Amino acid sequence: MKNTNEEILYTYKNKVYLNITNKCPCACTFCIRSKKDAIGEASNLWLNHNPSFEEVKEAIDAFDFNGYNEIIFCGYGEPTNSFDVLVKTAQYICSKLDLKIRVNTNGLGNLINGKDITEELCKNVDAVSISLNCSNKEDYLKTVRPKFGIESFDAMLSFAKKCRALTENTVLSVVDVIGEEEIEKCKKIAEDLNISLRVRKYDNSSDN
Ligand code: SF4
C-alpha cells in the first residue's frame, strides 16, 4: 500500500514538516507517538513503509508552500534513519524552493548509520536541532531508552559538537517536563559546547 502525501508532509503551528520514517532507535518516555497517531493538521503519521525519495518528492510537489519559509525533517521517527532520502530530499528542496531546511534529530545518526554523517548532513541543511533531553548519561539512558545503550549520551554530544563546528545553526533542545534544576544543568552543557539551548513545551514532544 502507498503512503499518502498527507502522511509524509504535514503542517503544525504554521510550519511544514516531513515525516520520512517511523524508525527510531529510542523509546523516549515522553514520546508523543505512544499517545496519539498524529500531531498538527496530520491525521495519521504512521507510515506503512519508509517512503522512497520519489514518494517524498511527490508529496512536496503536491503541496502549496505559499506563506511558509521553513521545512523541518521531524515526524514520527528519527530522520537520520532514512539518511539517503533525507539528503536527496534536502537537495531537491534546495533546487526548487526558497525554504530554510531544518532537521530535528536525536543526535544518534552516526551510531544509526555506522559512520560520521555530520558533514554530509550540515552541507545539505540550514539548521540542526539535537535533543539533549538530560544532563547526564544515566538519566538519558532511563528517559530516552536508546538501543545503543550507555554510549549513546556521549555519541549524541559528539554529534552536536561536530555539527556546531560545521554550522552555527546548531541547537540543543530539552522538553520542559525535566524541571528547572535539570534545565539549568543542560544550559551549562550547551554553553560549554557554545550551542544554544531550546526549551520545548511538552505538547511539542514528538519534535525530537
Ligand atoms: S521523541 Fe523522537 S527520539 Fe524519542 S522515541 Fe520519539 S521519535 Fe524517537
The string of DSSP letters for 107-126 reads: S-HHHHHTS--HHHHHHH-S
Q: Is the pLDDT of residue 66 over 70?
A: yes
Instruction: Give the C-alpha separation, 100 to 98, whole Å.
Output: 7
The side-by-side arrangement of strands in the sheet containing 170-175 is 9-12, 15-18, 70-73, 100-105, 127-131, 170-175, 196-200
Cell 555539527, residue located: 163
Residue type, 144: V
33 CB under 6 A from ligand 1? yes
Least confident stretch, 34-43, 112-121, 178-187: 34-43
What does the mean pLDDT of the chain come to?
A: 94
- 5-204: CATH architecture: Alpha-Beta Barrel (3.20)
User: Once rounded to an integer, what is the mean pLDDT over residues 57-70?
Assistant: 97
First to last CA, the chain: 27
Cell of 75: 515526524
Tell me if 126 sits within 8 A of 184, measured CB to CB.
no
Cell of 83: 539518511
Give the CA dihedral 115, 121, 124, 128, nearest 10 degrees. 180
Q: Is the pLDDT of residue 205 over 70?
A: no
pLDDT in tens, 8-27: 999 998 899 999 999 999 99
pLDDT in tens, 77-102: 999 999 999 999 999 999 999 999 99
Cell of 160: 552536536
28 CB under 6 A from ligand 1? yes
Tally of CB atoms within 10 A around 47:
20
Tell me if 180 sits within 8 A of 153, measured CB to CB.
no
Q: What are 184's strand-pairing partners?
A: none
pLDDT at 204: 47
pLDDT at 44: 87
What's the whole-model pTM score? 0.94
27 CB under 6 A from ligand 1? yes
Higher-scoring residue by pLDDT: 9, 205 = 9
pLDDT in tens, 170-203: 999 999 988 999 999 999 999 999 999 999 887 6
For ligand 1, pick from 22, 106, 144, 206 the residue to mutate: most ligand atoms within 8 Å of CB.
106
Give me the residue spans of the domains in the chain.
5-204
